[in-house]
C-alpha cells in the first residue's frame, strides 16, 4: 500500500511539474492595415499624389479634345445649310472619325491610368509586405495578417502593428531617396 501511495504521489508530482513542457508558447499574432499605411505613410501620400496628378493630366487632355469636338460640331451645324450634300456627308464622316478617335483615346487613357495605379500600389504592397515579413521574423510573430485580405472583422488593438510598419516603411523610403 505504501508503494502504491508513493508511486501515485510521484506520478502526480511528475505530471504537476512537467505540464509546463507540454504547453505551447503564447501565439504572437500581428495585423496590418494596408489602407491605413497607404493613407498615412509618406510614400503612400506620394503615390496618391502621383495617381491624382496623372488622372488630372489625362482628364485635361480629354477635356481639351471634347472641347474641340464640340466646336467642330457647332461649325458643322452652322455650315450645314450652305454646304452641298456631298460636302455634308464628308464633314459628317470626318466628325464620326473624330468621335471614334475620342472614344479610343478615353479607353487608352483609362487603361494607362489603371496600369499606373496597379503598378504603384503593387510596388508599395511588395515593400510593405517585405517589412512585415522581416518584422515577423525578428520579433517572433507566429502570424502576420493583412486586415482586408484576410477578412478580419475584429482584432484587439494590441496586435495591430500598422503604426510600426508605417514607421519602418517611411524610414526605408527616406533612405532610398
In eight-state DSSP terms, residue 141 is: -
SS3 151: coil
Quickly count: other Cβ atoms within 10 Å of residue 130's Cβ. 12
Residue whose C-alpha cell is 510573430: 141
CB neighbours of 144 closer than 8 A, spacing ≥ 6? 29, 30, 31, 32, 132, 133, 135, 136, 161
Q: What is the largest CA-CA distance in the chain?
A: 126
| 143: enclosing H helix or E strand | strand 143-146
Cα(50)–Cα(172) distance, integer angstroms: 19
Provide the pLDDT confidence category of residue 173 given band limits of 50, 70 and 90. Answer: confident
Domain boundaries, the chain: 25-176
Quickly count: other Cβ atoms within 10 Å of residue 125's Cβ. 15
Q: What is the mean pLDDT of residues 19-29?
A: 62
Query: pLDDT tens, 93-151?
Result: 988 999 999 999 999 999 999 999 999 999 999 999 999 999 999 999 888 888 888 77
45, 170 in Cβ contact below 8 A?
A: no
Query: pLDDT tens, 37-80?
Result: 999 999 899 999 999 999 999 899 999 999 998 898 888 888 87
Tell me the backbone φ, ψ of residue 22, rounded to 5 degrees: -90, -10
Q: Write down the pLDDT at residue 9.
A: 64
SS3 24: coil
CA-nearest of 150, 142, 146 to 37 is: 146
Given CA atoms 108, 114, 116, 118 in this order, what sign does their dihedral have?
negative
Amino acid at each position: 500500500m505504501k508503494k502504491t501511495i508513493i508511486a501515485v504521489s510521484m506520478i502526480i508530482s511528475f505530471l504537476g511539474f512537467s505540464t509546463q513542457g507540454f504547453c505551447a508558447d503564447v501565439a504572437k499574432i500581428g495585423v496590418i492595415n494596408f489602407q491605413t499605411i497607404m493613407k498615412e505613410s509618406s510614400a503612400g501620400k506620394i503615390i496618391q499624389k502621383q495617381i491624382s496628378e496623372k488622372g488630372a493630366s489625362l482628364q485635361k487632355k480629354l477635356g481639351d479634345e471634347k472641347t474641340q469636338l464640340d466646336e467642330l460640331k457647332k461649325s458643322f451645324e452652322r455650315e450645314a445649310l450652305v454646304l452641298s450634300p456631298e460636302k455634308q456627308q464628308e464633314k459628317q464622316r470626318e466628325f464620326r472619325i473624330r468621335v471614334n478617335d475620342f472614344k479610343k483615346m478615353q479607353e487608352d487613357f483609362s487603361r494607362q491610368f489603371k496600369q499606373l495605379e496597379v503598378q504603384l500600389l503593387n510596388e508599395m504592397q511588395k515593400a510593405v509586405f517585405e517589412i512585415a515579413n522581416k518584422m515577423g521574423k525578428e520579433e517572433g510573430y507566429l502570424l502576420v495578417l493583412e486586415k482586408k485580405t484576410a477578412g478580419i472583422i475584429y482584432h484587439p488593438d494590441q496586435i495591430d502593428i500598422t503604426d510600426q510598419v508605417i514607421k519602418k516603411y517611411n524610414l526605408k523610403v527616406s533612405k532610398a531617396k
